[in-house]
Structure 1
Amino acid sequence: MRLDTILRIVAKIFIPFILMFGLYVQLHGDFGPGGGFQAGVIVAAGIILYGIIYGINAAQRAVPPGLVEAMMPLGVAIFAGVGIAGFFTGRNYLDYSNLMHGDMVHGQHWGVFLVEIGVLVTVSSTMLAIFYAFAGRGRE
């Protein structure tokens, strides 16, 4: 796609906004529609667009496959770790009330926020792993 100048310029303009919108969806998930899953898909879509326009090698330089493989279990560990933290504070698994030591409202807020971060990391890395697997076929 070296000759597709318009696509390359438009992608260069839009990809930062796509990634920023993914961050907005992640952070706004407490107050409206959105959250970790939607944000993870949007972030992965921005990187996949980069890979489609600039090539799979450029995408893998920006987000290395080793990092993607490490992010998948890291997101699950964040999700599970928040649940276990609630369990060790005397509540049920994934009950965040005691995460802020007596401030139940802020504990719930931070618990949901951290769980959604884990979901974002897992979903975006899984989508990228699938893209790398399919885009890399036939290049061997």
Structure 2
Amino acid sequence: MMKDPFGGMLLNTAFRILVPFSLVYAVYVLILGESSPGGGFQAGVVMGFGIILARLILGEDSGIFNIRLKNSLALAGCGTFIYTLAGWLTLAGGGKFLDYSFLPVAMEETHELHALGILMIETGVTICVMMTILNIMDAVVRRSED
């Protein structure tokens, strides 16, 4: 599974510039996803891109961003759990499914509760999408090595 890095001076320099910016941009898209274009899916794709780029350039044995298949499947499940937890918390608070004004969190303004609920959902979607992209990449690489 991509044991040997593609490395070289040019690729390593590009890696050091592109990957941190792509991860910071993904967090930016995630945080501002409620009020601007973007959100969980786009942030997950950009984060997945950053991790795939790191794996391709540095190789899998570098230890950075080294997420195994079992762990990535578990993290994708955790992302789905975070998404559904937002809905179940609103039900536990006495409201309808995904009615954020019933989140059991001590906030005075309902728009703050709405922003928190959306952030929970988008965080779960981001984690799930990122790990799904990594699972697909691992499956393609494993298949090509067979």
Worse-superposed segment, 35-44 or 65-74: 65-74
Residue 125 in structure 1 maps to residue 131 in structure 2: yes
Partner of 2:73: 69
Distance 2:43 2:33 in 1: 9
Partner of 1:112: 118
Q: 2:7, 2:58 within 8 Å by CA — same for their partners in 1? A: no
Correspondence 1:73-92 to 2 at 5 A: 73-92=77-96
Q: Deviations over 1:9-59 (max 9, x none)?
A: 21122111111111111111122111111000000001111122223x247
Distance 1:138 1:61 in 2: 23
How many residue pairs match? The answer is: 139
- Name structure 1 gaps, 5 residues minimum: none
Could you state the TM-score of these two structures normalised by the residue count of structure 1?
0.88
Could you state the TM-score of these two structures normalised by the residue count of structure 2?
0.84
**Displacement, 1:82?**
0.7
Q: 1:48, 1:59 within 8 Å by CA — same for their partners in 2? A: no
Distance 1:36 1:3 in 2: 31
Counting aligned pairs with the same residue, the percent is 31
Partner of 2:141: 135
Distance 1:95 1:3 in 2: 49
Partner of 1:28: 32
4+ residue segments displaced more than 4 Å = none
Distance 1:94 1:53 in 2: 41
CA RMSD of aligned residues (A): 2.0
- Name structure 2 gaps, 5 residues minimum: none
Q: 1:78, 1:115 within 8 Å by CA — same for their partners in 2? A: yes
Specify the code of the residue in structure 2 equivalent to 1:32: S
Q: 1:3 to 1:87 in 2, by over 3 A?
A: closer
Q: 1:18, 1:42 within 8 Å by CA — same for their partners in 2? A: yes
Distance 2:96 2:39 in 1: 23
Partner of 2:43: 39
Specify the code of the residue in structure 2 equivalent to 1:133: A
Q: 1:97 to 1:137 in 2, by over 3 A?
A: same
